[in-house]
Structure 1
């Protein structure tokens, strides 16, 4: 049976949601961000992209390229609401759905022809149902393997469908720029070019051992992809691999206490996020960026999984303290990962007090979530956040 993987990517998702909700923004160049000198854009509409505006671009640079650009503050809760509706639609077409991010997902549609027709027919049905359900367009790529499906979804944006059949893979890789293969970033690209590698299939001029010697295990993986091989399955239940929050400051911050205040606010946000999915994580990661754009990330793996904001916050603070005097900081963020959805099996050697404490924390978190769900997130705030600067 021929394997088919589908990758769906919502078109300019955040910007499209804003244009849908506000008719005055439709047809105009907009971007999600602020006019602050240090703000960067998270998404730009296709009208803005015609001027060279793109995501991750400083807003000041974007405004120079497109003076008429309209900057809109993001509404993450709204985007998540739409995302859940999109994922629900995808579940109607395959039991094997992996949400890769808030606006993209993979589906294993192998063997669905008898129910939904050929892959292209299924893809068209998915597009139409998403359009009628949430009012937004999506682009779809279909291929025998996962990484090619993702590449294909970008070929006919916006609102396009592209399929790479198994007999087309070899020719496709002959014209695919090497930097399009996931894992070949800006730093690695010059090394590939030094070996005369321009397209993916060019890697096949050398044996796999050649690439493994130079790039380690990653070299073997890249060689396999250049051959059209990707054994990575669509992972059911892989809808969240991590949750993080970060803030860029209007002015550089030196005071560790101010940095910790931001960490507390961020810890509350990501803890509520993972609890919404019934997850707990073990690895806490701190991210710090400096005025010269240099950045560091430090992680600590806990003995037990958690979704408690207090534990996440204390761990983040401990990591920050271990770094010593950092000097001026431009951005700080914290994240949690290494999730396991299954329940933790208690050890007979684990102190009973620890078990009781965990249960109390879980009960408190559930109570907080219920209040916030009913009355809004601002109704419950930790005392140490009451003097926190506003989130810019």
Structure 2
């Protein structure tokens, strides 16, 4: 999808149509989540501070993001894709891979399927997307980034070597700034150079990743498109929140941890998952980020127990700066059919949690909650790259 969050805002509010728009995570936050193409024309970029963006574009309009709106739209778009193939792998809230090999006899060609999907999305939502068609996921992702907005790029098998020869390595999904720096030490700047570089040397310095880098340079990728119902079981259930403002008071941090623990516990209970290890993530005002974990003696999805474990971890930390982001996660998971605990006290906790979940499912998040959270500000919600339209990774983050 092209400038997805900003485009959805422009479509839902005609007054924003054709104007430079920047979506931010919360009214008191200054980092831009995404921006419209009208804003990008002035040099405004994702991750930019609002004051810097305003300097580049004085008429820039800031809109606080509405994640429910984006996730709803994404689910409808994914449903459109599934009309053409059941092999749809959701990569993020605004991107997906489709394997249309088995659909060609029905619709004619991959290019025709792409045009039909683009047309349906435009007619139904007024949104544009860019499509890449290629022999594999690596190249399809690359092609989808080549023409924006509203593009359609095809990389035929016979053109792969030509396309890769002078392509900068950072254009490939999976090669970030650090890897780019490491490869530059070997004089590797293009995919052609990466594909020709001795694979033994890459393997020696990067381990198994070195061999994968070699094949990436050649445009080779044998990873299949994996639909949701065939994906591996999740290995963690977590949630993080970018706070509306940087905080230092322990009481405020504890309130946020309680809220996060309830969100994690509720999702874990819904999908019948328990975890033995709790992880606390902290990001300072200067974006320094670190995590610390602690394992329990037993498995749990009880919000209060997750919270207490997070607080224990917090008590071991010496926070030296104001806190910008907090995250709570359970790992070392066990997937099982839900059954009531054997002991009376544990059974009471499970029944109370189940009753709260039932009420919140019917009347909305935090309709019933811990007394200390009543009337308190909730942190800004940022959609995780691990977001999925269904299952345990589907977070209603607003």
- C-alpha offsets along residues 36-71 of structure 1, whole Å, 9 cap, x if unaligned? 775211110110011111112122211111111100
Does residue 266 (structure 1) correspond to residue 297 (structure 2)? The answer is: no
Work out whether residues 25 and 33 of structure 2, in 8 Å CA contact, stay in contact via their aligned partners in 1: no
Does residue 31 (structure 1) correspond to residue 22 (structure 2)? The answer is: yes
Partner of 2:322: 329
How far has the Cα of 1:175 moved from its partner? Answer: 2.1
Work out whether residues 174 and 202 of structure 1, in 8 Å CA contact, stay in contact via their aligned partners in 2: yes
- C-alpha offsets along residues 183-229 of structure 1, whole Å, 9 cap, x if unaligned? 32212222212222111120133221101111222222111211222
Q: Please give the alpha-carbon distance, in whole angstroms, between the structure 1 residues aligned to 2:273 and 2:56.
A: 43
Q: Which runs of 5+ in 1 are unaligned?
A: 1-9
- C-alpha offsets along residues 71-112 of structure 1, whole Å, 9 cap, x if unaligned? 001111111111111111111111111111111111111121
Partner of 1:124: 115
Partner of 1:49: 40
Partner of 1:250: 245
Partner of 1:380: 368
Partner of 1:6: none
How far has the Cα of 1:339 moved from its partner? Answer: 9.9
Partner of 1:314: 308
Partner of 1:4: none
Q: 1:309 to 1:175 in 2, by over 3 A?
A: farther
Q: Please give the alpha-carbon distance, in whole angstroms, between the structure 2 residues aligned to 1:221 and 1:37.
A: 42
Q: Please give the alpha-carbon distance, in whole angstroms, between the structure 1 residues aligned to 2:135 and 2:349.
A: 45
**Which residue of 276, 287, 290 maps to 1:293?**
287
Q: Please give the alpha-carbon distance, in whole angstroms, between the structure 2 residues aligned to 1:199 and 1:293.
A: 31
Partner of 1:142: 133
Partner of 1:19: 10
Work out whether residues 288 and 329 of structure 1, in 8 Å CA contact, stay in contact via their aligned partners in 2: no
- C-alpha offsets along residues 307-329 of structure 1, whole Å, 9 cap, x if unaligned? 6544443343333233x221223
Within 5 Å, which residues of 2 pair with 1:62-77? Answer: 62-77=53-68
Does residue 192 (structure 1) correspond to residue 183 (structure 2)? The answer is: yes
Work out whether residues 286 and 332 of structure 1, in 8 Å CA contact, stay in contact via their aligned partners in 2: no
Work out whether residues 132 and 140 of structure 2, in 8 Å CA contact, stay in contact via their aligned partners in 1: yes
Structure 1 counterpart SS, 2:8: helix
* Greater mean deviation of Cα atoms: 122-131 or 257-266: 257-266
Does residue 352 (structure 1) correspond to residue 352 (structure 2)? The answer is: no
Q: 1:116 to 1:225 in 2, by over 3 A?
A: same
Q: Which runs of 5+ in 2 are unaligned?
A: 381-398
Give the total of aligned pairs: 374
**Which residue of 100, 103, 119 maps to 1:112?**
103
Q: Please give the alpha-carbon distance, in whole angstroms, between the structure 2 residues aligned to 1:87 and 1:306.
A: 33
Q: Please give the alpha-carbon distance, in whole angstroms, between the structure 1 residues aligned to 2:78 and 2:40.
A: 26
Q: Please give the alpha-carbon distance, in whole angstroms, between the structure 2 residues aligned to 1:337 and 1:221.
A: 30
Q: 1:200 to 1:338 in 2, by over 3 A?
A: farther
Does residue 162 (structure 1) correspond to residue 153 (structure 2)? The answer is: yes
TM-score by length of 1: 0.84
TM-score by length of 2: 0.83
Does residue 58 (structure 1) correspond to residue 49 (structure 2)? The answer is: yes
How far has the Cα of 1:371 moved from its partner? Answer: 3.0
Partner of 2:393: none
Partner of 1:7: none
Work out whether residues 244 and 335 of structure 1, in 8 Å CA contact, stay in contact via their aligned partners in 2: yes
Partner of 1:3: none
Work out whether residues 142 and 173 of structure 2, in 8 Å CA contact, stay in contact via their aligned partners in 1: no
How far has the Cα of 1:156 moved from its partner? Answer: 1.0
Work out whether residues 272 and 337 of structure 2, in 8 Å CA contact, stay in contact via their aligned partners in 1: no
